[in-house]
Copies of this chain bind each other. A is one copy, B any other.
Amino acid sequence: MSDTKRRSYHHGDLHRALIDAALAMLAADQNWTFTLREVARRTGVSHAAPYKHFQDKDALLRELARIGFVRLEQAMVAALSSGPVSARGKLVAGAQACIAFAQHNPGLYRLMFSADADKAADPRLHEAAMATFGVLLRLLQEGQQDGSFRPAALTALAAASWAQVHGLAMLAMNGQLLEEKVGPDPVQAALEVLLDGLCQSHRKGH
C-alpha cells in the first residue's frame, strides 16, 4: 500500500525507477548496450519520458557510473573498518573489496572506467570517482606515516597500487585468474608482490 500507490499519470519517482531498471539490465547483460526505450518500457512509461530526467542516454550512464563509485567506496571503507589494523592488511582488504566488487558487478565496473562515463562531462561523477580514489590515497599515506611503506612520492605509490588493483580486477572479471589456470589465490599472490615492492626501500642501481 505504502509504496505501491501508483498514480495514473505521474509516476511518483520515475528518476529512481529508471536508474533501477537500467542497473538491472546492466547487471543482466554485463553491458550497457540496452536501449533507453527498453528502459522506459520496463518502467511502464512512454519512450520519451526518460528525457524529462536525463538529458540523453549518456547522462543516464554517467549517473549509473556515479552510483557505482559511491558503492565501491562504501565497500572499500567497510572492508577497512572491519578487521585489519596493519597498513599491509588494510591495503589487502581494500584491494580485495575492490576486486570482489568488480567480479560481482562486472558491467557496472566496466562502465565506471569506460570512456562512456566521461568524467570531464559530469562534475558529480568526477567527484565520486575522486572520493573513491581518496580511500586508497589515505591508506597509503597512513602506511607511510607509520613507516610501513617506503617514503617515496605518494603519487608514485598510488599509481603502482591503483594500477595493480585495477589490473587485477580486470583480469578477475575476464576469468583469467581462476584457480585451475593460475594456482591458489592468485590475487593474494599478486598483492604480495605489490606489497613487497611497496615496503622495500630503494635499491641503489636500477
A177 to B158, CA, bound (A): 10
What B residues does A186 contact at CB under 8 A?
155-156, 159
Cβ contacts A151-185/B at 8 Å (1 or 0 each) = 01101111110111111101100001100011100
Pick the contact of A198: B157, B182, B193 (CB < 8 A).
B193
Q: Is A34 an interface residue (CB 8 A)?
A: no
Q: Do A181 and B168 touch (CB < 8 A)?
A: no
Complex contacts, A6 vs chain B, CB 8 Å: none
Q: Is the CB of B156 within 8 A of A163?
A: no
A residues neighboring B (CB under 8 Å)? 30-31, 88, 110, 113-115, 152-153, 155-160, 162-168, 170-171, 176-177, 181-183, 186-187, 189-190, 192-198, 200, 202-203, 206
User: Are A160 and B115 within 8 A (Cβ)?
Assistant: no
A164, B162: Cα distance in complex, Å: 9
- Sorted from nearest, which 7 A-B pairs have the closest CB atoms? A163-B167, A197-B197, A167-B167, A156-B189, A160-B190, A193-B197, A155-B182
Chain B residue with Cβ nearest A206: B192
- Since A155-B181, A156-B186, A192-B202 are in contact, a sample of 7 more A-B pairs with Cβ atoms closer than 8 Å, ordered by chain A residue number, is A152-B189, A155-B182, A157-B193, A160-B194, A163-B165, A164-B167, A197-B200
Chain B CB within 10 Å — which of A176, A193, A196, A200 has the most?
A193
In the complex, are the beta carbons of B193 and A31 less than 8 A apart? no
Inter-chain contact A30/B115, CB cutoff 8 Å: yes
How many copies altogether? 2
Across-interface contacts of A164 in B (CB, < 8 A): 160, 163-164, 167, 194
A109→B32 CA distance, assembly (Å) = 20
Q: CA separation between A100 and B68, bound complex, in Å?
A: 30
Residues of B within 8 A of A159 (CB): 168, 171, 176-177, 182, 186-187, 189-190
* Cβ–Cβ < 8 Å partners of A194 in chain B: 160, 164, 193-194, 197
Alpha-carbon separation in the docked complex, A167 to B95 (Å): 14
